[in-house]
Amino acid sequence: MWRLLRGARAPLLRATLSALPAWRRGNITEFPVACSLSMLLLDVSIPEKPKLRFVERAPLVPKVRREPKNLRDIRGPSTEATELTEGSSAILALGGGYLHWGHFEMMRLTINRFMDPKNMFALWRVPAPFKAITRKGMGQRMGGGKGAIDHYVTPVKAGRLIVEVGGRCEFQEVQGILDQVAHKLPFPAKAVSRETLEKMQKDQEERERNNQNPWTFERIATANMLGIRKVLSPYDLTLRGRYWGKFYMPERV
């Protein structure tokens, strides 16, 4: 009985294998999709110094100006470093915040330990800490002018890439370590690839196009319903309420 079943199943198996888009070389079956992907990965060039470089704790200038808080540095969407350049994966900031020198060291040590320098590379998409943060000493009276410089930070806006990773690797290989690093940053962040960035943009456009709620933020603010304009700033009108300070609210259309 088993011989009859095996004989009846053989034509079905041969028909299924013949329908697959593959060709045989000896006993190895090669698929065009996997072959083309491997050829694309072989074309990637690895730079001479593939690892993340060390970042200085303070800017190398003779005198740094003590500036006010200037919270506009972390408010709203980023206009630079929003697209991938050389790498295929990156860490995307989903909100605004300040990167301290310790965050740079955490990212550098974690990613450099994980990556294979022969097949992978990583690069910074944010500058070294340059904004001075002042602080008065313990037990001092208020007044007497601005305090001394305590440390330096790097302002980051929502939508900016922090670190890029590329080389002969796929997104699934580096997604785990990038998510681990993104979880330790002082603002919401996530690991993304080129396809993920394109999908996020398309989803936002589709959400705006298929919106069925007529009471959008833009319509309410433009019509000044219930006198809401008196509590809105020009900044809210420009960005249509999608950003509240350093926080990004993608659900608003």
Question: Tell me, what amino acid is at 245?
Answer: G
Rounded Cα distance, 135 and 211, in Å = 48
Question: In this predicted model, what pLDDT tens digit does every residue of 33-84 receive, in sequence order?
Answer: 444 444 455 677 888 999 999 999 999 888 888 889 999 999 999 999 999 9
Question: Residues of the chain with pLDDT > 90: what percent?
Answer: 61
Alpha helices in the chain (DSSP H): 2-19, 32-42, 101-114, 171-183, 194-209, 217-222, 234-239
Rounded Cα distance, 12 and 100, in Å = 63
Give me 185's structure tokens.
């940053």
**Phi, psi for residue 51 in degrees, rounded to 5:** -85, 165
Residue range(s) in the chain whose domain bears CATH number 3.90.1170.10: 42-194
Dihedral of the alpha carbons of 247, 75, 204, 37, in degrees to the nearest 10: -100
3-class DSSP state of 158: strand
Please state which of the four CATH numbers 3.10.560.10, 3.90.1170.10, 3.30.70.20, 3.40.50.720 is assigned to the domain occupying 42-194: 3.90.1170.10
Q: How many CB atoms lie within 10 A of CB 140?
A: 9
pLDDT of residue 61: 86
Rounded Cα distance, 34 and 14, in Å = 22
Is 78:157 a contact under the CB 8 Å cutoff? yes
Low-confidence stretches of the chain (pLDDT < 70) are: 1-42
pLDDT of residue 19: 46
Give me 82's structure tokens.
């929003």
pLDDT of residue 3: 52
pTM of the model: 0.79
Q: Measure the N-to-C terminal CA separation of the chain; round to a whole number of Å.
A: 65
pLDDT of residue 17: 44
Give me 50's structure tokens.
């593939």
